[in-house]
Structure 1
Amino acid sequence: MPDPAHAIARLIEIMARLRDPKDGCPWDREQDFASIAPYAIEEAYEVEDTIARQDWAALPDELGDLLLQVVYHARMAEEAGWFDFATVATMIGDKMIRRHPHVFGDAPARPGQWEDGKAQERLARRESGTLDGIPAALPALLRARKLSARAARVGFDWSTADEVAHKVDEEIAELKAELPGGDRARLADELGDVLFTLASLARKLDLDPEACLRHANAKFTRRFTAMEQDLARQGLAPGDSSLDQMEAGWQEVKRRERTARSE
C-alpha cells in the first residue's frame, strides 16, 4: 500500500506545479475559487453515484477527484497567503476531536452531542439564529430538510408524519386553486410550498428527499428506456407513437417489473 503522507505530499506538489505561473498548465493557472467550486460539487455527486452503484473498483478514482478539489482550493489559498493544505487538515482533525469527547476525552456519549457541538461552533462564529449556518448553495431539497430539522430542534414541528402528510394535501390544494389563474409567480410560490413540505415529510419519515428523488429519477429512466425499446421492436419511436400507445407500453414495463419482483 502507498504511504499516505508521501501520496498526499506528492499530490500537493503536483498541484503546485500545475499552478506554476511560468511552467504550469494554462488552464489550471487561470482558475479561481468561483470557477473551480462547481467541480467540487460535481465530484461529490460522482462519489455518491459510485457508492450507490457499489462500484468499489471505481471509488478510489472518484474519491481522488474529490480530494483534488480540496488540494486545488488549498493551493489557491496558499498563493493568496490565506492558508494551506496543512491548515485544512489540522482544522478538520481538531474539529473531529472536539466533536467526539467520548472518544478523545472522558465524557460519556450522549444523544444530540454532535449537534450540540455544531451549535457551540455557530455561536463562536456569532451565528445566533436558529437557521444560521445552513448554506444557501445546498441542493434545494436537502436545504429544505435541514431548515425544517433545525426549526424542529426548537419545537417548531409537526408531531407526526401523518400531520405533515395532511399539510402536503393542503399545500397541493392551494396549488390547484392557482392553476386556473395561470399566474406564474403565484404558481411558483405554491409549488415551492409543496416541495418544502414534502422535504419535511421525508425528514419526519427519516428519509433523504434527495435520495428519494434520485431513486424516482432512476426508476423513470429505467421504465421509459424499456418502453422506448419495446416500441423500437415494433418499428416505432416515442415521437411516432400516440400517448395511448406509450401509456400502454409504460404499463407493460411496470407489469414486467412487478412479475420479476414476485418471482
Structure 2
Amino acid sequence: MDELIEKVKAWAKERGIDKQPADAGYRKTVEELGELSSAYSRQNKAMMIDSLGDTAVCLINLATQMGLDFNECLEHAYNEIKDRKGKTVNGVFVKEADLKNGKDNQ
C-alpha cells in the first residue's frame, strides 16, 4: 500500500497536481464521490471500483495539497476507531458515546 501511495504522489507531482490549492483537490474529491454515488445507485461494480479508486487518489492528493501525510491521516483514523465500541443501527455503525446521547435515533 505504501508503494502504491508513493506512485500516486509521484504521478500527481509529475502533473503539478501536488502544487494546486487544496480547494481544487477538495472539489475533485467531492466530484469523484458523486460518481461513486451514481455507480452505487446503479450497482455497477466496474464503475464502483473505478470511482472508489479515483476517490482514494483524490484523497491522497488532497492530503499532499494540505501539507499532510495520507498514511499518517489513515493511521490516526484507525487509532481513533480501533477500540471503539458501539452497534450497527440501520446498517450504520454508531459509536457507544452517541448511543448514550440518543444520536442513534437520527
TM-score w.r.t. the length of structure 2 is 0.74
Aligned-partner Cα distance in 1 for 2:68–2:57: 14
Aligned-partner Cα distance in 2 for 1:249–1:157: 38
The reply on whether 1:251 has 2:98 as its aligned counterpart is: yes
- Where in structure 2 are there 5+ consecutive unaligned residues? 101-106
Aligned-pair CA distance for 1:166: 0.8
Aligned-pair CA distance for 1:248: 5.5
Query: Partner of 2:68: helix, strand, or coil?
Result: coil
Cross-structure match for 1:208: 69
Cross-structure match for 1:219: 80
CA 1:249/1:143 → structure 2, altered by over 3 Å: closer, same or farther? same
| Within-5 A mapping of 1:16-165 | 138-152=2-16, 159-165=20-26
Cross-structure match for 1:99: none
Aligned-partner Cα distance in 2 for 1:158–1:176: 28
Q: Amino acid of the residue matched to residue 193 of structure 1?
A: D
TM-score w.r.t. the length of structure 1 is 0.33
Aligned-partner Cα distance in 1 for 2:80–2:2: 24
Query: Partner of 1:193: helix, strand, or coil?
Result: helix
RMSD: 2.6
For the 8 Å contact 1:141–1:195, the answer to whether it is kept is no
- Where in structure 1 are there 5+ consecutive unaligned residues? 1-136, 229-241, 254-263
Q: Amino acid of the residue matched to residue 243 of structure 1?
A: T
CA 1:164/1:248 → structure 2, altered by over 3 Å: closer, same or farther? closer
CA 1:138/1:202 → structure 2, altered by over 3 Å: closer, same or farther? same
Aligned-partner Cα distance in 2 for 1:248–1:212: 20
Q: Which has the higher strand share?
A: 2
How many residues are treated as equivalent by the alignment? Answer: 97
For the 8 Å contact 1:142–1:209, the answer to whether it is kept is no
CA 1:157/1:146 → structure 2, altered by over 3 Å: closer, same or farther? closer
Q: Which 4+ residue blocks in structure 1 deviate beyond 4 angstroms? A: none
